[in-house]
Every structure is written in structure tokens, then in C-alpha cells.
Chain A
Amino acid sequence: MLELRNVSKSFSSITAVDNVSFNARPGEVTGYLGPNGSGKSTTMKMITGLLEMTSGEILFDGQRIDRDPIAYKQRMGYVPEEPHLYAHLTGLEYLVMVGQLRNLPSKQTADRIDGLLRLLGLHGDRHVGISSYSKGMRQKILLSAALLHNPDLILLDEPFSGLDVASGLVLRSLIQELAARGKVVLFSSHELETVERVCSRVVILHRGKMVADDSIEHLRTLMSLPTLEDIFSQLAVEQDTAVVSRQIADLILNGRARE
């Protein structure tokens, strides 16, 4: 189980993540939601170890992740928000390198890479440079790299970004399948419809603070709202979206926005 206890992160005087605590359990997909700049990716980076916390602690299976980061990283797979990859390598070269860095047996790595590339429809392009890949193809490489070592904890930051419909559907099922097989899956996305279908519980962040941590069903009942989108709007959207869109249209058409 992944546990965040009073985790905070400040950059100079700005508090990006403020006292966040939640658990992500094996066998369920935890959705991590929030508007732009709410601190989702910062939290993800702290969980991966890319960023250090200002305060608080993160535990995985009862162990602080900074106590034995090597053992932790062996069990963690991560798909970042932006598909930053070494574009001068081919897809195959990149995945082989990840396997070697993770100290996986070469035969096993080769078989897994081959299988993942075939299943994700990239086998024919495995010798092509990543610089020539589309955003969706890059996303598939990231996903393959994150799953290559059969991790126990899977962190997905906007994993559907750039994927076509078919690949998106595969990924949606895959996330549920992995959770069903006992993996801890933490999944951040702006696509609320997908989150609603995939996640069993959600954590909602607003301005760095946690405003909800519950199952979607319970939140629906508690707030008497029909969809996750309505719940999210209620908790994390400050502006009246209709008013804002009218003001933008006014600004463009008339040069100033009406109050």
C-alpha cells in the first residue's frame, strides 16, 4: 500500500502541495484529480523520488521510500506527464536501455519488450528513431518502459495523452486488469469520464490542498451529485464556467470583458 502522510512541498515561498495525506491500496485504482497547477504532478514526482518533500513522509508497504530508495525504485513504474524521451534512440534501444538500467535479465527483457511492442502496435517501428514517433507512440514507449519490470506500484500521470481511441480503450482495461492482479495504481488525469470508469476511489486536490478522498460512489451519495464531473466542479472549480466563457468571448469580440 502507498501511504502519503502530511506531505508538503514548497518552492521558495510558494506551497505547491500542502499537507496531503491519502492511501492507495493494492487491488484498486486511485484517481488523483485536480485543476491545472493544483500540485498533482508535484505529488507524483515526490512519490517517484524525483523531488524531495519539504515535510511529511511517503511509505510503500510500511517502509519510508527514502529509507531504501533502491529497493523502492525496483518496485515502482512511472509514466510522466510529458513524454520526454531520448529522441536520438530508437524505441527498441530505449526499452533495452531501461531494462539494463533496471538490471533485468537480458533474455526476459527481450521477450517482454518484444511482447509489449507487438501488443501495443509498435513492433514494426521498433528500429525507427523516437524523434519520428507521434505523441501516442511515445506514450506507448513510456508505458512499456514503466511496466517492463512488473512493478508493484504503478504511477500514471496523464497516461491517455495522445493515445488514439483503440489504444485508449486498451489502456483503460489494462489499468483495471493490473489493479485486479494486486498492483497499486495511482492514476492522474483530466479526463473525468475515464477516471469515473476506471477508478474505485479518487483524491481531489485544489490549490495544493486535498479536498476529497473517498470512493466515487460515496462522494456521489454524500454530495447528491450525479457525476464525477459535477463533484469535481463543486470541489475544485472556483469560477462559473459559463460566465468565464462568456467573458472570454466578450474580450475577443469587443476588446473588454463584462463583469
Chain B
Amino acid sequence: MNKLQFRVLYREFLFRMVDLELLSVQGDMTKLLGQFASLLIFASLTFSLPALNFPPRWMTPAQVTALLWSIEHFLIATTMLVIGLFAVLSWDSTFPNKHDVMVLAPLPVRTRTLFFAKVSAMAAALGITVVTVNALSSVTWTSHIVPAGSGFLGVVRSFAAYWLTMFASGTFLYCSVLGVQGLTALLLPRRVFLRVSAFLQMAAFCLFLCAYFLEPNINTPAALSATQNQRALAWLPDYWFLGLFHALNGSLRPFYVPLAQRAVAGLAIVATGAAGFFVLSYFRTLRKIVEEPDIVPGARGWGWTPSFGNSLDTAVVWFSTRTLLRSRQHRVMLAFYSGVGFAFAFFLMHAGHLREQVVNGRISIELMVSSLVMMCTWVVGMRVVFSMPLTLRANWVFQTTAVRSPSEYLKAIRRPLFVLGVTPVWILSAGLFLWLFPWRPAAQHLVVLLLWGLIVAYLSLHEFQKIPFTCSYLPGKSYFHMTFLAAVGLLVLMVRGVLIEYRALQNPASFAVMTAVLAAVALIARWRAVSYAASEAATVEYEDRPTPAILPLGLNRDGVWPV
């Protein structure tokens, strides 16, 4: 193997986990990776801080042990979730793409060198992810997880056990995804594999998020040894690795033995399977990539193309729909947001304090909140996905055919979010609520849901001037911590809002007031969007630009209302 070739390819594959073509000319790849790393370190900092004030004084030793086990389990489960999401997001970079093959095939580079460079890049990315998500928590929690009386060597052993467990659990999940990907790539024709990939990615997203949020808490000695829990424990890999951690840490209890054994066996099976399937599928895929195009829509046309307004609105809606249906990357991004929505919804469905507030057994307040959460995450997710371009260099066609005013374009840009964002969630919710609820509260909630969807859509489109999928992406413009805080605030608002709505459902006058307030907010949001579209600042953007270092104060002329 040529070492120079290996180094060049390794670096190339490692830094190309993200599609560079979608970046703006002013986009900085290192900034994007730095943002990703800082996000994980922020998470690690959040997990590590409770260790500084541990254990709480009011707790009994048994409670402290149970809490510590819960924390150990939480850290393992979180690492597995992060690695799982990373594996799904980097799905497309597992195999070299057509461009790689076309460029490298004529060069005297051995397929073996290419393969090892790819595997090394994936291993490095996996390692970096595990390290960043555990960097701070490993330091702060080690002193608490050391078995009593084991001295300095015990600290070293616990530290090593912590890292070995995290790498083992991360490798287990990554290899599981890789194994599934390799097996399907091996069994299916490449074209079918590409289509199935999208569904597998979405299924993996949902599986990881649901498992993380919904799995039972089995972290006391009694619960871990209870017969009725053994079936669940046999299917929950994060508990296996909790067992492995205690085996490595020297704090093994009898009920951890089968779990640790399962972790070792599971890791061995998954790693072997993934290696085998990946090697076989890799070389097969390399051949197939050259022969087959990535995207091939059916050879039969679909004559029915309904109109969504004027011809510009229709063109933009159909372009957005087809892009979403045929682009794997965009579907996966949308699946991520809907997965988060589902996770929140499931979390709320299990929140006891909400269930206690239900007066009428036929109306589920959790379902009402969940529908609002799903509407919010789906619409916001759709809006985020619209910002990611597809075949950026083809956007010249929109620029050279711009035969209408910017305000008409901005109106057309809003249309896909209503058609693809608000409408599907509302229709599905309508079916669900009219089936489960009495018709009157169902209809009332659907009115609220529609108004809520319109408000979220208009707010998320505020000053959005991009035709979906046509403008370059500039990373680093959004601030994660602010977005996170806003999301938490919004969640609290939705829960409070539904409690108010629930009470209003009992009283027509209150409901009318509530609907009027929501309708007024929706109208104001619409008025803002329309006013902005008609203003001089309205243009259609094709190149994302950084926020200027100096922002104008936006002072208005006398008698002019700020819009």
C-alpha cells in the first residue's frame, strides 16, 4: 500500500463527510466541523456539571448507588444515540461516490488503498465523535465511579473502563448500522439499494430516538435482578454495556454478568458481521457505481400535476416536492426533525403530570400537545431542509427565467411550506382526531392546529428569500444554544397553550376568544410576510451571505411603522 496515496485519500475522505457542493462560496468547512464539535462538547459540559456537586447530601447510600447507575447508563445511552445519529447522517459517505470512482479509477491507486483510507477516515470520525461527547464527563465522573478503597490504580482503571465502554458501545452501534448498510448493498441491486437506503435511514433515526426516550429505567439492584425485566434487558444494548462497564471497572454484581457477556458477544458478532458485509459490498458497489446512475425516476410519466396557484407557484411547489421525494440527503434531514418531534411527542405522552389533568377520558391532552409539537418540528424541519441546496450550479435556470417581480417570487417561496409542511400534518391529525375524539372537540382542536401551523410557517419564513433547494448554504449562521433555548421555551409554551385550550374546549366563549387571538397572530404574521415581500429589500437570494459585522439600527422615518 502506498503511504502517500493513503494519507492523501484519508484526509480527503475525513474532511468530506459533509457535501461540500452545497456550501456557499463564503462557507468555511472547518467552521462547520468546529460548530459540530462545540455542540458535542457543550453536551459533554452539560453532562459533567452535576458531578461537581455529587452526591446530594440528603440521599441514602442506596439512593446514591441507584442514581450513579442511572447516570452511568445515561452517559452510555447518550453516547450510543450520538453515534447512531452520526452513523445515519454519514450513511452516504460510507461508500465512495461516483465522482470519487470516476476520478480515482484512471489513477494507479489500488482498490485496497482506497478501502483502507475510507475505513481509517470512518474510524477517525467515529473516534473524534466519542471523544468530544465524553471529553469532560469522563474527567468529572471518574472519581465517583471508582469502587470504594481501590486507591489510585482504581481511579486509573475506572477511567480506562469508562473510555473502553464508550468506545465499545459506540463501535457496536456504528457497526450495526454499517452491517445493515453492507448487507442491503450486497443483496439488492444498487438502484434498489439507493431507494431502500432512505427508508432504512429514517427507520434507524426513529428506532434510536424512540429507544433513547422510551426505554424503561432499570437501574436498581432489585429491578436489574427482577425476572420480569430480563426480557427487556436482553433487547437493550445500552444496559449490556452498563454491565460491561462494571465488569471492567471491578464493580461487577451478579446481575451484571449476563449483560456484560451479552455486550462482548454482541460486539464481536456485530463487528465481524459489519466487517464481512462491508468488505464484500464495498468492492461490489465500486463496480456498480460506475455502471448505474444514482437517481433514476420511473420511465412512466404521471400525467396529473395539479396547480398550486399561478404557474410560478406551481413550478416552485412541484420542484420542491420532486426534490424532497428524490433527494436522499434532504429526506434524511427532514427525518431527523420529524424524529425529534416524535421523540418529544412520545416523551409528552409518557409525562405523568399531563395525564393527571385530563378531565374527560375521551380527550387525550397528550395527543393534543403532540400534534402541536409535530406540526412545529415538521414545519421548522421543512424550512431548514429548504435552505440546503441540490445541484447548486443548476440554479442559473431560476435566475435567467426570473420574469416576475421579487414579491411574486417570495409568495411562491411560501407556498411549498404550506403545501408540504402544514397541510400533511393537519390532514393526518384531522384523521386521527376525528377518529379518536368526539367531533366537536376534534374540530375545535383542528382549528387551533391549523392556526398554529400557519403561525409557525409564517414565523419560520420571516425574511426567507430563497427558492427551496436553490441557494448555497453558509454554515455557522445559527446559534445552537439560542435555538435550543428557544425550542425549550416553545415546548413550555405549547404545553401551557394546550392546557388553556383544553379548558377553553369546555366553554364556547373562551374558545372563541382563544381562536380570535390565534387568528390575529396568524394575520399579523402574514401581514409582515406580505409587507416584507412588497418592500424594496425583497430579492431572491441564490448565494448565502454572512451576517454583516455592523448591523444597521433600522431607525425609521417619522410616521413610518417598522415592519
Contact = CB atoms under 8 A, between A and B. Distances in A.
Interface residues of A, number: 37
A82 interface: yes
A74 interface: yes
Given A103-B311, A103-B404, A131-B293, 13 more contacts: A49-B399, A50-B396, A70-B404, A84-B394, A85-B397, A87-B391, A87-B394, A89-B319, A97-B318, A98-B397, A101-B403, A104-B311, A129-B293
A54 interface: no
Instruction: Please classify the interface of chain B as helix (H, G, I), strand (E, B), loop, or mixed, using the class held by over half of its residues.
Output: loop
A246 interface: no
A238 to B, nearest CB: 31
B440 interface: no
Nearest to A126: B301
15 contacts: A48-B396, A48-B399, A73-B400, A74-B403, A78-B400, A86-B319, A86-B323, A86-B391, A87-B394, A88-B323, A101-B397, A103-B310, A106-B311, A128-B296, A131-B295
**Shortest beta-carbon contacts, A-B, top 8:** A100-B315, A100-B311, A101-B401, A84-B393, A88-B326, A127-B301, A84-B394, A131-B293
B390 interface: yes
B61 to A, nearest CB: 61
A69 B401 CA distance: 10
B353 interface: no
A90 B297 contact: yes
A200 B326 CA distance: 46
Contacts of A100: 311-312, 314-315
A122 interface: no
B303 to A, nearest CB: 11
Contacts of B299: 127-128
A132 B390 CA distance: 17
Interface residues of B, number: 35
Contacts of A102: 401, 403
User: Chain A interface secondary structure, helix, strand, loop or mixed?
Assistant: mixed
Contact of B403 (A82, A84, A103, A132): A103
A102 to B, nearest CB: 5
B311 A85 contact: no
Interface of A: 48-50, 69-70, 73-74, 76, 78, 80, 82, 84-90, 92-93, 96-104, 106, 126-129, 131-132, 145
B111 interface: no
B296 A129 contact: yes
Contacts of A131: 293-296
A76 B400 contact: yes
Interface of B: 293-301, 305, 310-312, 314-315, 318-319, 322-323, 326-327, 390-391, 393-394, 396-405
A82 B396 CA distance: 11
A106 B315 CA distance: 12
A92 B298 CA distance: 13
B394 A70 contact: no
B194 to A, nearest CB: 11
A247 to B, nearest CB: 25
A126 B294 CA distance: 18
A85 B400 CA distance: 13
A36 B390 CA distance: 29
Contacts of A89: 319, 322
User: A49, A88, A132 — which one has the most chain B CB atoms within 10 A of its CB?
Assistant: A88
A48 B397 CA distance: 11
B295 A87 contact: yes
Contacts of A82: 393
Nearest to A106: B311
A88 to B, nearest CB: 4
Contacts of A132: 293, 296
A50 B399 contact: yes
Given A93-B322, A97-B318, A132-B296, A103 B312 contact: yes
Contacts of A74: 403
B437 to A, nearest CB: 40
Nearest to B392: A84
Given A88-B323, A88-B327, A129-B293, A70 B301 contact: no
Contact of B322 (A69, A88, A99, A103): A88
A99 B398 CA distance: 11
A104 B405 CA distance: 16
Nearest to A105: B311
Contacts of B310: 103
Contacts of A86: 319, 323, 390-391, 394, 397
B296 A73 contact: no
A102 B400 CA distance: 9
Nearest to A109: B311
Contacts of A88: 295, 297, 322-323, 326-327, 390-391
A73 B305 CA distance: 26
Contacts of A69: 402
A49 B396 contact: no
A76 B311 CA distance: 19
Contacts of B394: 84-87
A85 to B, nearest CB: 5
